Amino acid sequence: MAEQIYLLYGTESYLIQEHKQKIIEKTLKPGDREFNISQYDLEETPVEDVVIDAEIFPFLGEKKVVIAHHPTFLKAKPDKLPFEHNVDAFLEYINHPADYSVLILIAPYEKLDERKKVFKQLKKAGELILCQPIREWDMDKWIQSIAKDLHITIPESVHELFAQEIGTNLMALRKEIEKLALNVEKGGVVSRELAEDLLSHSAEASGLKLVDAVMEKDLGRAIKLYKDLVKASEEPIALIALLASQFRIISQVKILKQKGYAQNQMKSYVKAHPFVIKMALKREQAFTNEELNEIIQQLAETDYIMKQGYMEKELAFEMLLYRLIHIKKKEIV
């Protein structure tokens, strides 16, 4: 009976798609999939209509798959709909499912109400598959898995770029790795240069790269990164806010580390994603507390200069980068 009803729930759409596809492949022969898969949106269709479909014999073949999206009645506060779901009819079906139908419920919600009778019955009679976003420490495993699936190799030294640019969104990760696979031969290796060129760039990731350029005292790279961001319509004032945010996190992490806090304890004090804290821990080693304080002060002063109109924004930002790099060189100007 566990193989007749599935509940895929959680907010990670990639995992939902992966599990759905595996269930379909396990249930139906390739030639039967065109006619024996039906899909419903339970925000538009009453669940009793889905039950009726599930109870009808397959048009062709021995099995059919019925997919029902958005079972809002599983939430603690169901959405208001122009109709009411007949949950009792659905409960009856859960207890006596058709042996020729596989019903897949897809609930893309962060939380379900596990106290509800319908959830408890699904748990008892069906198979529940949690599809939550992955943790940042699982990124390496997923990058390797998707790369293997696409017959390419992505060295571990390049993995950090994916985490910086994409975060833990598996669907986005898959798309970016597919894009890289199109640019290397089957069995090929993705270079860092190719990954830097082709990965979709976020402003936050570029902010981290600016931090790295300051850390490495590379003024030319810092200005190039800045000009690329301007071309992408990023405002200098917004970039200062982004840099200030990154350096504040680095400073906070450094102070907490000096006080003996472990990485997993820091998330209670630093309002940032665990990956950002992890990256800050790597970067804090390159700065003293005094350097970080001076950098944050320079950012605040440049922000004031720009907002008051005392200097043209692009020039003010380039001069800021020059000063930040000289702070790192112990040559505060």
The ranges assigned to domains in the chain are 5-130, 136-198, 203-328
Q: What is the mean pLDDT of residues 223-241?
A: 82
> In this predicted structure, what is the pLDDT of residue 332?
41
Q: Quick check: do 5-130 and 136-198 share a fold?
A: no
Q: Which residues pair with 7 in a beta bridge?
A: 105, 128
Residue 142 has pLDDT above 50, yes or no: yes
Kindly indicate the confidence band of residue 204, based on its pLDDT and cuts at 50, 70 and 90: low
> In this predicted structure, what is the pLDDT of residue 230?
78
Give domain 5-130's CATH architecture.
Answer: 3-Layer(aba) Sandwich (3.40)
> In this predicted structure, what is the pLDDT of residue 1?
40
Residue 219 has pLDDT above 80, yes or no: yes
Residue 136 has pLDDT above 80, yes or no: no
Task: Return the minimum-mean-pLDDT range out of 13-22, 34-43, 251-260, 278-287.
Answer: 278-287
> In this predicted structure, what is the pLDDT of residue 331?
47
Residue 245 has pLDDT above 70, yes or no: yes
Q: Higher pLDDT residue, 159 or 262?
A: 262
Kindly indicate the confidence band of residue 2, based on its pLDDT and cuts at 50, 70 and 90: very low
Q: What is the mean pLDDT of residues 157-165?
A: 74
Mean pLDDT of the chain: 86
136-198: CATH topology: Helicase, Ruva Protein; domain 3 (1.10.8)
The hierarchical CATH code for the domain 203-328 is: 1.20.272.10
> In this predicted structure, what is the pLDDT of residue 259?
94
